[in-house]
Amino acid sequence: MVKIVSYNIHCGIGNDGEYDLARIGGTLRRSGCDIACLQEVEINFEERMQRKWSKKHSDNQPEQVARASGLGHYSFAGPLNAHMGDIPGRPKDTSCLNPYEEILARDKEGKSGYGNAILSRWPILETRHLVFDQEYEPLSEDYIYMDREQQPRGVRAIMVDTKHDPAAELAEKGAEEEARRRGPGLACCTSPQVKYVHGGPIAPMWIVNTHLSHKAGSLEQRKQVAQLMEFIEALATETTSQGTVKPAFVLCGDLNAAPIIPRSSYSILSSDTRFVDAWAEKGTFWEQATFPSKCWSVNCGLHLDHVFMLKHPSAASIQCKAIRVLSGVEDSEGSDHRPVVADVELSSK
């Protein structure tokens, strides 16, 4: 059984307005998850404030949350490279400014990243990344007008071996060292040759994490989900062509689409027979809401955060055994979203 969490952490800002990564880590630790797919994650290599609701910091958030949660491995991709600020001699265009508009200065030095992270209990064997196409050219080389143009968004994917055994790995490496010490002449004549063979993952799983356009039901969101599905299809085909054991595929993320919204990313995914909504397979009609976490219960709000499984000739069989939204007070305060936890079971057949 593999326990997977999908959680939009809102840059570490809780409902109380406080920036607290340890609180996010505590939620993940209490969930007992093996994999955590996080959205709205930041990395700053100097003290900066990335989003209008964030806080100024110089933190590697994936690393700090991984440490706080007890998950030893992480992978991050930040397609949005920008921060709150001004570029000297390059004034912002405020002709369409409204009180709520967010204008970010482009980071051309690689000091800031905002996007998706995946934390894992097991070592990460492979990674992939996709940045969604943007239909129009940017409005400026210096600023990103977040409310006037398409926001840079993307996908992060990792492969892990869900039956990774550190003790067995050490034993295999020890056998390899013994073979080297003996040398080929001694081993063949005095005892059965000790040979280290790395057989690859026993129960591989691709975890795909994304955060789609906030414009629910828009053409922009539909184009992004189409690219996402093509990305997963290509990943499945590529993995099979390498001749490895069939991997399972799990898709997590903030789709910014509730099941009730027509012509949205969710409706497109759920209407494709290759993608199985874990909630539809094992969840309940009630207690689905993940946003906003300020709502009095999980029956109040929208179900924006989802877990899907892939049914595909090139993918291992996988089933959801249980799924729920974490609704305790401690787990609802760390972000404006609540985390979703899914228990999945896979077969190598």
What tens digit of pLDDT does each residue of 249-294 get? 999 999 999 999 999 999 999 999 999 999 999 998 899 999 999 9
Contacts of residue 319, defined as CB under 8 A and 6 or more positions apart, other chains included, come to 281, 309, 344, 345, 346
pLDDT band at residue 245 under the 50/70/90 scheme: confident
Q: Give me the CATH number covering residue 269.
A: 3.60.10.10
- pLDDT in the model for residue 199: 61
- 194, part of any domain: no
Higher pLDDT, 94 or 13: 13
pLDDT at residue 169 above 90?
Answer: no
Provide the number of structural domains found in the chain. Answer: 1
- pLDDT in the model for residue 186: 30
- 196, part of any domain: no
- pLDDT in the model for residue 243: 63
Question: What value does the mean pLDDT of the chain take?
Answer: 89
- 191, part of any domain: no
152 near 77, Cβ under 8 Å?
Answer: no
pLDDT band at residue 114 under the 50/70/90 scheme: very high
Residue of 284, 314, 309, 289 whose CA lies nearest to 299: 289
- 247, part of any domain: yes
- pLDDT in the model for residue 94: 81
- 336, part of any domain: yes
Q: Which of 20-24, 42-46, 344-348 has the lowest mean pLDDT?
A: 344-348
- 115, part of any domain: yes
pTM beyond cutoff 0.85 = yes
Q: Which domain holds residue 269?
A: 2-164+201-346
Mapped onto helix, strand or coil, the DSSP state of residue 185 is helix
- 91, part of any domain: yes
pLDDT at residue 179 above 80?
Answer: no
- 188, part of any domain: no
223 near 135, Cβ under 8 Å?
Answer: yes
